[in-house]
Chains A and B, each alone.
Chain A
Amino acid sequence: MSTATETIAGLVRKEYKYGFVTDVETESAPPGLNEDIVRFISAKKREPEFLLEWRLRAYRHWLTMREPNWAHVHYPPIDYQDSVYYSAPKQKGDGPRSLEEVDPKLLETYEKLGIPLKERARLAGVAVDAVFDSVSVGTTFKKQLAEKGIIFCSFSEAVQEHPALVRKYLGTVVPYTDNFFAALNSAVFSDGSFCFIPKGVRCPMELSTYFRINAANTGQFERTLIVAEEGASVSYLEGCTAPMRDEHQLHAAVVELIALDQAQIKYSTVQNWYPGDAEGRGGIYNFVTKRGLCKGKHSKISWTQVETGSAITWKYPSCILLGDHSTGEFYSVAVTNNYQQADTGTKMVHVGRNTRSTIVSKGISAGRGQNCYRGLVKVQKSAAHARNFSQCDSLLLGDRCGAHTFPYLEVRNATARVEHEASTSKIGEDQIFYCNQRGLATQDAVTLIVNGFCKEVLRELPMEFAVEAQKLLGVSLEGSVG
């Protein structure tokens, strides 16, 4: 092996700049999981009876399930009795009535994360729901959105203010029986965001939720539900970070999207949970179930994800294309550096006629990272003239990392057209040297090549976030070459 190959493989500790801890007094449940904890969480949130019942059914079902082991990821067994299932910053009295009353320490935390919540400093054109451990800290631009009939609030608030809507849609796309982590989430979810875009309304700004894990040994189990009625459209973005800790922390979220006739939902994620250190200590276990239902005719759901964080990522944002002429899209960039492992992909289930789906997956592995694409394209008998195009590309930096592709295909209708393309390439020393010779430093060259590799996905992100995502990719791979 030449020295150049060694430097490409050589890793330097990378910086995770969101790793700080906020010192706030918290109110937590005791560690462990049982029916009492489920009741405790539900009582804390003053939930109606139907929701407690639903949680308990989910919990009892979870007890009968086993953790899945088919993913291409390896980790020591998780002791579910070890984790804390509820942790929230202590509130004085009734809690803040507006964002201006929120604990300054929390506002400062979000400011530091680049998400100013205060009126004056807010990001223009982006409404933010800020979730801190188990609760929502506050939501911006609520009033302006309400004028259009749009509901954007924390899940807890939706349960209080709009119980009928929650009851109508909760669990209709991801039932609690769906999988082990979805059942767990259904039993103990603590907060998340709720969006409802009424008939014919185009949401005038980006909606976004920023998830922050702060407390130690605490799992985060959020639940997001987005409903777009007939002809409505919305673009939603989630971001996530966590402090650097030596222990692994569990994050098991559920996201449900429902699009009625002609409705469009664009859901973008920039996932930057703490990935663990260069030796593989610590980091978030990210087990997430995300699914969208294209219920109506000509509806469209589009997932875009940039996954740079977490020690383990297990997620498959999927689309069920029920309505005729509905469209599902999945654009993904997943980066694994050091000892990170990702098993991610999508399921496109074609049920309606003339349904279309597009899958573009870009996996980048560096260090000893393992990156796996797992995707299912299923065309049911009813789905005449369904079409799918899938493209899965892998990029390797160095020779101790791995890329794996598992495309599954089930086609039950002969009129379907399904195309799959895959490629694996390596950032070569000669490419780096060529860039160096033109004056570009190695790190900039890697960022340039990686961004070029991902550009079909990055251009799907809302403008405001595409630049951030590009920088993040650069930072995530810092030290992976040279």
Chain B
Amino acid sequence: MKQAILEIQDLTAGVEGKPILKGINLRIYPGEVHAIMGPNGSGKSTLAAVLAGRDGYEITAGRVAYLGRDLLELAPEDRAREGLFLAFQYPVEIPGVNSTYFLKAALNEIRKHRGQPELDAMEFLTLVKDKIQLLELNEDLLRRSVNEGFSGGEKKRNEVFQMAVLEPRLAVLDETDSGLDIDALKIVSNGVNKLRRPDNAQLVITHYQRLLDYIIPDYVHVLADGRIVRTGDRKLALELEEKGYDWLLKPASAAAGTGGPAAGAAQGG
């Protein structure tokens, strides 16, 4: 059996004593694309933050294995260097820090970690050329400070551009589609698809079924009140589009405490 890229077991986490994730189970294998959907405030971004190692979240129970290692033991920068990438729901502006310089520094950290030689400015520019084309990125953005004054859509496209350059093993995309116009959505989705390889995986958080017309998921999970209450294939997304979340929420609370219809089981593996 292949080794999972990510394996989450009974993960519970919260902030300042307030539980947010209430027992998450999820297993992602190489080559897979998983989508997570769910109402506002259900814990999708929290899950992404916990995976990336953001400070301020208390892990109260559970385990997360990443490529067979204990993910929660690793510092955030080490997770990134090991190939975990988070495309932020709200990308952060860093005034004064040039975008190209920033991304080169990031790539070189990852290369150093892998024992590869660092790239100089020229080599870096050669390497990013294709990725700029892939995402039809406005090159002007690379000359500006990181995300500073970028439009909402430009920020999202820039996140996927960074992903293209850093070539992660596991990419978590948190609502990368929100804020993109129709053409941009196609370009960015196409970019994400082109980055798909048999040895990497993608976890796509979205509110909109439409994204899943472009990025075809192998599994769709519904996260509600800190639990994965349903797992299905892409047809589940269409069903949600039609019926909303209400029909799923009731069984969720009924099943509370019993483990619920956990996702991992539905996937086999």
Contacts and interface: CB of A to CB of B under 8 A. Distances in A.
Interface of A: 2-4, 7, 425, 428-431, 433-442, 444, 448-449, 451-455
Contacts of B162: 438
Interface in B73-93: 75-77, 79-81, 85-86, 88, 91-93
Contact of B76 (A430, A433, A451): A433
Chain A interface, DSSP helix/strand/loop, else mixed: helix
A93 B24 CA distance: 82
Interface centre among B15, B79, B80, B94 (most CB of A within 10 A): B94
B110 interface: yes
B55 A7 contact: yes
Contact of A436 (B15, B53, B91): B53
Nearest to A455: B96
A3 B55 CA distance: 7
A452 B105 contact: no
B56 A452 contact: no
Interface residues of B, number: 35
Contacts of A433: 52, 54-55, 76, 92
Contacts of A7: 55
B94 A452 contact: yes
23 contacts: A3-B55, A3-B56, A4-B55, A429-B56, A433-B52, A434-B91, A436-B53, A436-B76, A437-B76, A437-B80, A437-B85, A438-B106, A438-B162, A438-B166, A439-B77, A439-B107, A440-B106, A441-B75, A448-B94, A449-B96, A449-B97, A452-B94, A452-B95
A350 B118 CA distance: 50
Please name the 10 residue pairs, one residue from A and one from B, whose CB atoms are nearest each other, closest first.
A452-B96, A4-B55, A439-B109, A438-B106, A452-B97, A436-B76, A434-B92, A439-B80, A2-B56, A436-B77
Interface centre among B15, B81, B92, B145 (most CB of A within 10 A): B92
Given A452-B94, A455-B96, A438 B56 contact: no
Interface of B: 15-16, 52-56, 75-77, 79-81, 85-86, 88, 91-98, 102-103, 105-107, 109-110, 113, 145, 162, 166
Interface centre among A425, A434, A448, A454 (most CB of B within 10 A): A434
Given A438-B162, A439-B109, A444-B105, A431 B92 contact: yes
A467 B132 CA distance: 30
B53 to A, nearest CB: 7
A102 B80 CA distance: 53
B74 to A, nearest CB: 11
Given A439-B77, A448-B105, A452-B97, A434 B55 contact: no
Given A428-B92, A439-B81, A441-B75, 6 more contacts: A431-B92, A431-B93, A433-B76, A434-B94, A439-B109, A440-B105
Interface centre among A2, A4, A438, A455 (most CB of B within 10 A): A438
Given A4-B55, A452-B145, A436 B80 contact: yes
Contacts of B107: 439
Given A437-B86, A448-B102, A4 B56 contact: yes
Contacts of A436: 53, 75-77, 80
Interface centre among A430, A439, A452 (most CB of B within 10 A): A439
A398 to B, nearest CB: 14
B136 to A, nearest CB: 22
Contacts of B103: 438
Contacts of A449: 94, 96-97
A449 B94 CA distance: 7
A448 B108 CA distance: 14
Nearest to B85: A437
A322 B121 CA distance: 45
Contact of B95 (A429, A437, A451, A453): A453
Contacts of B97: 448-449, 452
A439 B94 CA distance: 15
Contacts of A4: 54-56
B5 to A, nearest CB: 17
Contacts of A428: 92
A146 B110 CA distance: 52
A452 B55 contact: no
Nearest to B105: A440
Nearest to B162: A438
A453 B16 CA distance: 33
Nearest to B108: A439
